[in-house]
A and B are shown apart, each in its own frame.
Chain A
């Protein structure tokens, strides 16, 4: 492992200044970065530890009912937060799937996003909720949709010197629910062979007014299953509908074969997980109440 410098700034401004120059990399939980450095997969000249910066670690309510998650807050911290657990349970559920408990106590959603692995567990549910990311850099602050933020494995829209500061969850729509399910051969400490997040929102008549299905580990980045979503619109929730949406999601998926699973198997799983995630949405209180 090559040697590196380490700084731990107390303010966002100092952090941005530290991110200038080649080879600077942000450190939050370190659960991806440190193994990558030790295995020689990343050459880092300067590690910028973000954990002293309040905007990056706190979880705060926005004035408009949104929720702002500091990008470096630990997955455990996010999952245990009462508002996350109550209003965005799929996000809490996703945070509880990353690695093991020990990993969740350090790993951050921001790191999960910026590491940009196709299997990133935190991302699908966040995209379902139309999360946006707030970015700060030398040119100032900006915000963009998380859905557009991840470009390719290991690559996001962060320009050199920019930092992911926080993840913004819009206020929860009435008559909506989300769920994230993934498939792993072990029950814990595993990486998704395939994952599916679903979000549905019903109209006053109990039909699907809006739907989002986001797939993990079946494409270079987390991806929307557009055909599945179109299938759901205007329909009443039912087991058959979800099965059909699942099959369409499997068609939308673009998986590869690797040591964790073949492309065919990933497609099969996509169909099953999508249907089950949709069923879980349906079982959630807001949807049950809307159907009653």
Chain B
């Protein structure tokens, strides 16, 4: 059987409500902070007030003596992991030494808010009082709060064991520059010197936050035999389990992680933030422990925000508008521990352009701020803010329409990607053609009392595949019950119900989907990297076929004919040669229930990538007296391969766009010189309200990915990549000035206007 069925699809591609919407709208969805176990106590973390300091001594005696306090932990309660310790994840693993430091500092603190101790007490007030009784003897050290300070000669070095990777000869002194990555071909500098048209920009991007509404929350419980159960708000129960197990020194058969509903994550809930600490407290006091972070904790060092950056781009083209050179340097702020590296970001920013000469250099730099983590396409929006403005400026220099400029240089299937491999199937030119034909591009920009402009930006994100698993049990009434390994952060329960409904030819309501815990389903990587729908589809298609194969064998026996003469369609098996000889799934299961279970299994590992491409168009108005920018109109085009459920796809797109607009215009961390965050509350960390954004029109384009069931691409990350650049380009067209700082707050816009 082919993965592409003949005839119309029954479930896939339909606009269907989420199968789990009812509990969400009626208050029945359960998040970890909602859990109340008998005997449960409350945990709180003590956090460093210093951006950089040695911990000389911690005395917890007075805290332990406070009535109502049941346990206190510090780094001494966890095994010390060697530098470089890692857990399996994808191709490269994940650094566990860093995860451990992020969850409980050992010997040194690297950012304000880094945990140094934790208590469990019978109520939160006593826990808070106990924190005040823990005496920590810090030796404050000079701190570096921003990239420039961290890279300056003579800057205090955060990590004695970090020597800049990617530099020849190997440096002899440690550095805050953790790595240098180069992606190059040809001679970009020479090409720039002779290019008839050049443009460039240097930008500074502030740290922002993923802004999930649910602060991190966890409940941990140890049973009488020492088995640990953790209920978590996590993007990956298996990754969390590996991290918790490693941090506690607990064998993997001694614990499990049950993923509950996640109140937003966007990359910020892959790394644990408190789970292992709650578990250790539970081990020590023998009671279930719940830790729920406050919003202030989340923002002030208790979670991993995305990276601030300094990016410099120079681009050159010939008079026909063909790109001849891209030279760029990207400095990403990793926060207090070395970061995710710059390769993906650099590739993404240049991937969509055919260009013979490339010189991309990326630097991962530590500073005394919280260790950075992913926020949808990590680094993508920052890089696009620079690259897409540079390209837009170049198109202006050439006197060329920005859309024509992109078309002229657009990457195509089979063309060379920055790292030299050929592009798999992509539809960038299709997207650009659709943009050009759409009213958002062809409608004249309506005039208003304030200057207005229209901006275009394109974006790319590679995504990843990694591993997804699932199994399907057939219930006694013949209905498939799906247990998938993927945590649902994008509506995948619903889309997988559609996939299995399609495979079985059954109504959607017949399919039950749940996410398994880390011991009840096959290993599945975290819901991240735009991989979940695509790889879970592959795994569940395999599981469906496995189950149907087992059922076919049983049906053959019941219908007394060879299995290869059995046809299956829409819940019934028929003997091809004997009219009337048929049996439904329900009848078959009833007749064979005591023969044992029918369980179909599926795994997807290293599925071909479904790279994501988007193009966004934005109209803005700029109040030149105050600098306030209003987004008047926004249209997002994206190639999704195949939309399993257009409502879900649109939801991912418009949500990401609004996040991007938020970082573009109003979201940014304001760190003081002491490394303390000055806007650690949702009053001053401003996320867009419903009044701050226009309706977001989503245009779905489908260029299926070969070799992937239903041709599905990743969806959820690329839509955050273009918005800041689209808004910036629109502002530039409105007022003739490019804003070089992100967020482009009203004050910064006004300052640029007055400069």
Q: Do chains A and B touch in the complex (CB under 8 A)?
A: yes
* Contact B626–A269 (Cβ < 8 Å): yes
Within the complex, what minimum Cβ distance (angstroms) separates A87 from chain B?
28
Chain A residues lying within 8 Å of B196, measured Cβ to Cβ, are none
A265 at the interface (CB under 8 A from B): yes
Task: Report how far A40 CA is from B391 CA in the complex, Å.
Answer: 50
Of the candidates B125, B692, B751, the one whose C-beta lies within 8 Å of that of A187 is B692
The contact of A185 among B691, B745, B754, by CB within 8 Å, is: B745
Chain A, 32-54, contact with B by CB distance < 8 Å: what is the 0/1 string? 00000001000000000000000
Cα-based distance from A260 to B686 in the complex (angstroms): 11
* Interface status of B80 (Cβ within 8 A of chain A): no
Closest to A1 in B: B125
Bound Cα distance A125, B666 (Å): 28
Least CB separation from A262: chain B residue? B747
B625 interface hit (Cβ, 8 Å)? yes
Say yes or no for B202: interface residue by CB 8 A criterion.
Answer: no
In angstroms, how far is the closest chain A Cβ from the Cβ of B624?
A: 10
Enumerate A169-209 residues with CB–CB distance to B below 8 Å. Answer: 183, 185-191
* Cβ B750 vs Cβ A268 within 8 A: yes
CB <8 Å contact, A187 and B747:
no
Minimum C-beta distance from A37 to chain B (A) = 12
- B contact residues around A262 at 8 Å (CB): 747
- Inter-chain contact B684/A187, CB cutoff 8 Å: no
Query: From residue 684 to 723 of chain B, which have CB atoms closer than 8 A to chain A?
Result: 684, 686, 688-689, 691-692
- Inter-subunit contact B666/A186 (CB<8 Å): yes
Would you list which residues of chain A between 1 and 23 have a CB under 8 Å from chain B?
Answer: 1, 3
Residue of A nearest to B751 (CB): A265
Whether a CB of chain A sits under 8 angstroms from the CB of B670 is yes
| A:138-195 near B, CB below 8 Å | 183, 185-191
Contact with A along B534-561 (1 / 0, CB 8 A): 0000000000000000000000000000
Does A261 lie at the interface of the complex (its beta carbon under 8 Å from any beta carbon of B)?
yes
A278 CB → nearest B CB, Å: 14
Supposing A185-B666, A272-B625 touch, asked if A265 and B750 sit within 8 A by C-beta, the answer is yes
Main secondary structure of the interface of A (DSSP, over half): loop
Interface residues of B in 609-638 (CB under 8 A from A): 625-626, 628
Chain B residues positioned under 8 Å from A1 (CB to CB): 125, 128
Within 8 A of B (CB), among A238-287: 258-262, 265, 268-269, 272
- Residue interface mask B743-755, A partner, CB < 8 A = 1: 0011100110010
B190 within 8 A of A: no
Q: Which residues of B contact A268 (CB under 8 A)?
A: 626, 750, 754
Assess the B689–A187 pair: CB atoms within 8 A. yes
CB distance from A42 to the nearest CB of B (A): 16
Q: Does B1 belong to the interface (CB within 8 Å)?
A: no
Chain A nearest CB, measured from B704 CB (Å): 40
B746: chain A residues within 8 A (beta carbon): 183, 185
Report how far A265 CA is from B625 CA in the complex, Å.
11
> How far is it, in angstroms, between the C-alpha of A186 and the C-alpha of B662 when the chains are bound?
10
Q: Which residues of A contact B224 (CB under 8 A)?
A: none
> Given A259-B679, A259-B684, A265-B750 in contact, is the A186-B626 Cβ separation under 8 Å?
no
The distance in angstroms between the C-alpha atoms of A3 and B128, with both chains bound, is: 13
Which of B626, B686, B688 has the largest count of A CB atoms less than 10 A from its CB? B626
Residues of A within 8 A of B666 (CB): 185-186
With A259-B684, A261-B747 given, is the CB distance from A183 to B626 under 8 Å?
yes
- Residues in chain B near residue A188, CB distance under 8 A: 689, 691-692
**Distance from A190 Cβ to chain B, minimum over Cβ atoms (Å):** 7
A268 CA / B665 CA spacing, docked (Å): 19
Q: Among A3, A39, A190, A265, point to the contact of B686 (Cβ < 8 A).
A: A190
Closest residue of A by beta carbon distance from B677: A259
Q: What are the residues of chain A within 8 A of B691 when measuring CB–CB?
A: 186-188
CB of A280, distance to nearest CB on chain B (Å): 15
Which of these, A3, A39, A260, A272, contacts B684 with CB under 8 Å? Answer: A260
What residues on A are CB-neighbors of B684 within 8 Å? 191, 259-260
Count A-B contacts at CB 8 Å.
Answer: 48
B26 shortest CB reach to chain A, Å: 20
Distance in angstroms from B334 CB to nearest chain A CB is 24
- Give the residues in chain B near A259, CB-CB below 8 Å: 670, 678-679, 684
> Would you give the shortest CB distance from B76 to chain A, in whole angstroms?
29
Interface: B25 (CB within 8 A): no
Confirm or deny: B213 has a beta carbon within 8 angstroms of a beta carbon on chain A: no
Closest chain B CB from A97 CB (angstroms): 13
Judge whether B628 and A185 touch: CB under 8 Å.
yes
- In the docked arrangement, what's the CA distance between A263 and B679, Å? 18
What's the nearest-Cβ distance from chain B to residue A115, in Å?
A: 14
CA distance A87 to B689 in the complex (A): 31
Residues of chain B within 8 A (CB-CB) of A183 are 626, 628, 746
B686: chain A residues at CB < 8 Å are 185-186, 190
Contact: A186 with B689, CB < 8 Å?
yes
When distances are taken between beta carbons in the complex, the residues of chain B under 8 Å from A190 are 683, 686
- The distance from the CB of B755 to the nearest CB of chain A, in whole angstroms, is 12
Q: How far is the CA of A272 from the CA of B627 in the complex (A)?
A: 11
What is the bound-complex CA distance between A99 and B176, given in angstroms? 42
| Residue of A with least CB distance to B683 | A191
Who on chain A is nearest to B665 by CB? A185
Nearest A residue to B679 via CB reads A259
* Most A Cβ at <10 Å: residue of B125, B678, B746: B746
For B750, the chain A residues whose CB sits under 8 A away are 265, 268
Q: Which residue from chain A places its CB closest to the CB of B689 in the assembled complex?
A: A188
A255 to chain B, nearest CB (A): 12
Contact with A along B308-339 (1 / 0, CB 8 A): 00000000000000000000000000000000
A247 to chain B, nearest CB (A): 12
- Closest Cβ of chain A to B377, distance in Å, is 25
A147 to chain B, nearest CB (A): 27
Which residues of chain B are near A3, meaning CB under 8 Å? Answer: 125
Q: How far is the CA of A259 from the CA of B672 in the complex (A)?
A: 9
Q: How far is the CA of A146 from the CA of B175 in the complex (A)?
A: 59
How far apart sit A96 and B125, CA to CA, in the bound complex (Å)? 35
B296 CB, min distance to chain A CBs, angstroms: 8
A residues in contact with B688, CB < 8 Å: 186
Which residues 350-379 of B have a CB within 8 angstroms of A? Answer: none
How far, in angstroms, from A187 to B686 measured CA to CA in the complex? 11
**Bound Cα distance from A261 to B751, whole angstroms:** 12
Chain A to chain B contacts (Cβ below 8 Å), 5 pairs = A185-B746, A186-B692, A190-B686, A260-B684, A268-B750
Point out residues on B near A: beta carbons under 8 Å: 125, 128, 296, 625-626, 628, 665-666, 670, 678-679, 683-684, 686, 688-689, 691-692, 745-747, 750-751, 754
6 nearest CB pairs, A to B: A187-B691, A259-B678, A265-B747, A272-B625, A259-B670, A188-B689
Known contacts A185-B666, A259-B670, A259-B679; 6 additional CB pairs below 8 A are A1-B125, A185-B745, A185-B746, A187-B691, A187-B692, A258-B678
